[in-house]
Amino acid sequence: MSRTIMAQKQPLPIDERFWAKTVKAAIGTNPIRIFVELITNSADSYERLDQQGLAKPPHKISVKYLRPFKKVGIVEVKDDAEGMTAEQLWDALRYGAATSGLREGLAVRGAMGFGLKDACMAMKESTILSVKEGKISEFEVIMEKGKPYVIPFRENEPVLKEERAKLGLTKNGTIVKGFLSKNFPRLKSDQFIEQLGKHFMMRRLLQLPDYEVLITHGRRLEPPHHLTYVPPIGKTLKQEEFDLVYPGLGKFRIKMMIKKAYKDLRVTGECKETGLIHYHDKYAVVDCTLWGFENDPFARRLFGEVEIIGFSEFLKRDEDVIDEKRRGLNRKHLFISELVREIENRLRPIIEEERKASSITDYSLDTKNLKKTLRELNKIAKEEGALGKFMPPSPEYWTESISFYPPYIEVFEYLEKRIHLVINPSIIKSDSIVYLTSSRNEIEVNPKQIRISALELEKDKCFSHEIRVLASKPEIEGEIASQINEFFSTAGVKVHRNPMLYPKSGFTFVPDETKIVDGNKKNTNLMIELATLKEAQASTKIQLESTNSHIQCPSELHIPENVQPYFLSPNVIRIRVPIKAAGEGERGSIIAQFGVKKAKLHVTVVSPFETHGLFKEIEFTTREDVKEISYFDRNEGIIYVYSKHPVMKKYIDKPSFKRSAGFLVFAADTVARLICWEIIKEKERKGSLEILNPENRLQELQIHFSEIYYKRGINLHGILAGLIKTLKIRR
């Protein structure tokens, strides 16, 4: 006889290991991911307000990472965005809930982010405080025996003015804070800043002026500073747009940019510098990869961006486009597989070119020896007068009557340049006057007159007077002229646009990136348009802060009442911003704010031994499309030696070439002669070379070259032969 057994439904028990695996899959073992999730959640909240017209940038996100105890790290992230009701908090902490706003058509990260629940579960314990429409909710998330629990201390209770002030939330907003588990590795302050700034999901956000991420870190509450991301320095190899069509969703525009860094980049982890950032809607990053070339050694310098326009609409319709672990794009998806194919087709020829160039031959010189050699070469250049300030012409400079030296100059607008007027005393009488004029009103010459003294007439050699030239209009050409009695002379003047006089948005650093020697101080140029000063009205304070504690600047500067001495042109003033730095290899930014306008200066701290001067690098190269055996790139300061030149190739193709005295003498002599010629040309350019008769310029240059080669040749041979012995070749 059968019996009917009455039973109730019971939830399937979940083992504590499930939660541990869930958190590990989401956050991993690096606490940086917790901060990334919380910061990007705050950015999403601001973005939702933006798209509804309820907030205006810049949006501030405050981050704290403190280590007051040996084994515990304190986390806190605060925003002044939407805030959440108790009901919204419950939804945000429930697995499987769609809380991003993506399905409502808002451009946020959506299915890519792991979310608030995972970030809270990754911490030992955490508290969420959220204020919305005058009501506060406070939830605590704890882990007990490997299982998560939520304790709702307050739900939609009225918030008092005193508590708002204590929390720093004047309107709506959310604060998430907690303690890191001892299972996470301890990060030093500089490690924390570097990894958070370089995390692939943060890069786009940190480059947008709409968001300010303020960091407080260390053992004590130090003043907060801006978190920034400085991309690698490199050149653009490809910039292209193309379309992809997906059935049912239509056409999607893809904007792609591929760059190559000038040095090898970090290639692993979520803080790697290589890879193409795939994103949509300003900052919503969905992947960072080179796809099939991810581990290719010849792609180690490639980086860039792929923008998928309208991708938020795709995510709203089909979240399977993101892989199931939410670590990036799902390559198995039809749309993504087509996207990958198009990207790889554009990457392939670039990487093949890199492989081809490297497979032929790769040359390298010993770095330590190279730096020592460059210092020696620049020391010689300085001793020979090729480095330093403008030199007046030698008393031996000869002219039949009167002439300018040099006879042609190039100047920048509103940047005074000096030229010399050389006079032969035999052509003039005592108390004679030299008159100076300009062919254009925009090119001013001073003084307008020079009275020749009796003492100068007693000289038996030519003498010179310094002339100042100042131009007020760019991209023009003209002449300055001098006349004494019947004798007449002219000099050509070409005027270039001065970038210092055209500050972006009326307030900027020029240049906007600089290097500073470890342990040194330096003045930088902050350019301000007159219109910006008027906009600020009574304000005279410029606020300054550094994103890196190793790079220091004043916290504020004041524009003086009398700004006349600071004008570089009628419309622009220059304020000197002093900076100092310690820590070779450190990188960061100085951020200046004047009224509502901001300017950013990227700073790199270099070794005191990093080369400064005429010669900055020596490279052996496999380039074949040149006829020279060596060449000096004056703009970059690089000496190139072409190994494919038939004469050089004759030596280098032999296995024991470095033991060949003939090769060492030939290679050293080739570079030594180039160096001597470049020193001569630099002296001529600076006006410190004696050219007695301009009509015989080439012959006189050859004489100067012979003199310096005779004087410096043996020393140069020894220095360069020692360097060339360290040449390594990978075939």
Q: Which of 392, 381, 395, 466 is nearest to 424 (CA)?
A: 395
Q: Which of 414, 411, 483, 418 is nearest to 446 (CA)?
A: 418
Rounded to an integer, what distance in angstroms lies between the CA atom of residue 527 and that of residue 506?
8
pLDDT at residue 245 tops 60: yes
Is residue 61 within 8 A of residue 39, CB to CB? The reply is yes
Amino acid occupying residue 604: T
Query: Rounded to a whole number, what is the distance in angstroms from the first to the last CA of the chain?
Result: 88
Give Cα separations from 295 to 236, 245, 270, 299, 351 (angstroms): 21, 29, 14, 8, 12
> What letter would DSSP give residue 54?
-
Pairing between β-strand 541-546 and β-strand 513-517 as defined by DSSP bridges: unpaired
Write out the E strands in 145-222. Answer: 147-158, 173-180, 211-218
Q: HSE on the CB side for 342, CA within 13 Å?
A: 18
Share of the chain above pLDDT 90, in %: 32
**Tens-digit pLDDT profile for residues 572-616:** 898 999 999 888 778 889 999 998 889 999 888 876 655 568 888
Amino acid occupying residue 340: V
Structure tokens at 535: 């906009």
pLDDT at residue 440 tops 80: yes
Rounded to an integer, what distance in angstroms lies between the CA atom of residue 394 and that of residue 186?
65
Rounded to an integer, what distance in angstroms lies between the CA atom of residue 592 and that of residue 509?
9
pLDDT at residue 96 tops 60: no
pLDDT at residue 100, as a whole number: 47
Say which residue the tokens 């030149």 belong to: 645
pLDDT at residue 362, as a whole number: 65
pLDDT class of 16 with cuts at 50, 70, 90:
low
Rounded to an integer, what distance in angstroms lies between the CA atom of residue 695 and that of residue 699?
9
Rounded to an integer, what distance in angstroms lies between the CA atom of residue 283 and that of residue 43?
9
Q: Which of 211, 173, 194 is nearest to 79 (CA)?
A: 173
DSSP 216-250: EEETTTPPPEE----PPPEEEEEEEEEEEEETTTE
Helix (H, G, I), strand (E, B) or coil at 715: helix
pLDDT at residue 619, as a whole number: 85
Rounded to an integer, what distance in angstroms lies between the CA atom of residue 199 and that of residue 215?
15
Residues in the chain: 731
**Tens-digit pLDDT profile for residues 471-497:** 988 889 999 999 988 888 999 998 888
pLDDT class of 731 with cuts at 50, 70, 90:
low
pLDDT at residue 361 tops 70: no
Is the previous residue joined to 58 through a cis bond, with omega within 30 degrees of 0? yes
> What letter would DSSP give residue 426?
G
Rounded to an integer, what distance in angstroms lies between the CA atom of residue 113 and that of residue 36?
9
Domains and CATH numbers, the chain: 16-226 (3.30.565.10), 234-358 (3.30.230), 402-494 (2.60.40.10), 500-606 (2.60.40.1510), 617-730 (no CATH)
Rounded to an integer, what distance in angstroms lies between the CA atom of residue 89 and that of residue 15?
25
pLDDT class of 137 with cuts at 50, 70, 90:
very high
Rounded to an integer, what distance in angstroms lies between the CA atom of residue 197 and that of residue 213?
10
Strand partners, 261: 234
Burial 426-447 (b: 16+ CB within 10 A, else e): eebeeebebebebebebbebee
Q: Give the Cα-Cα-Cα angle 5, 9, 13 (nearest 5 degrees).
A: 125
Residue 38 burial (CB count, 10 A)? 26
Q: HSE on the CB side for 240, CA within 13 Å?
A: 11
pLDDT at residue 19 tops 70: no
Residue 284 burial (CB count, 10 A)? 27
Q: How many angstroms from the chain centroid is the CA of residue 350?
A: 23
Is residue 315 within 8 A of residue 141, CB to CB? The reply is no
Say which residue the tokens 């108790």 belong to: 86
pLDDT at residue 2, as a whole number: 44
Handedness of CA 49, 52, 54, 60 (dihedral sign): positive
The alpha carbons of the chain give a radius of gyration, in whole angstroms, of 33
Helix (H, G, I), strand (E, B) or coil at 3: coil
Q: Which of 345, 300, 357, 308 is nearest to 328 (CA)?
A: 308
> In the β-sheet with 433-438, what is the strand arrangement from edge to edge?
408-412, 487-496, 476-484, 433-438, 449-451
pLDDT at residue 451, as a whole number: 87
Torsion from C-alpha of 672, 675, 676, 682, nearest 10 degrees: 180
> What letter would DSSP give residue 312?
H
Q: Which of 213, 159, 201, 172 is nearest to 84 (CA)?
A: 172
Rounded to an integer, what distance in angstroms lies between the CA atom of residue 85 and that of residue 101?
15
> What letter would DSSP give residue 343?
H
pLDDT at residue 538, as a whole number: 67
Q: Give the Cα-Cα-Cα angle 706, 709, 713 (nearest 5 degrees).
A: 155
pLDDT at residue 110, as a whole number: 42
pLDDT at residue 55, as a whole number: 87
Q: Can you tell me the mean pLDDT for 40-46?
A: 92
Rounded to an integer, what distance in angstroms lies between the CA atom of residue 592 and that of residue 526?
9
Rounded to an integer, what distance in angstroms lies between the CA atom of residue 410 and that of residue 418?
11
**Tens-digit pLDDT profile for residues 99-113:** 444 444 444 444 444
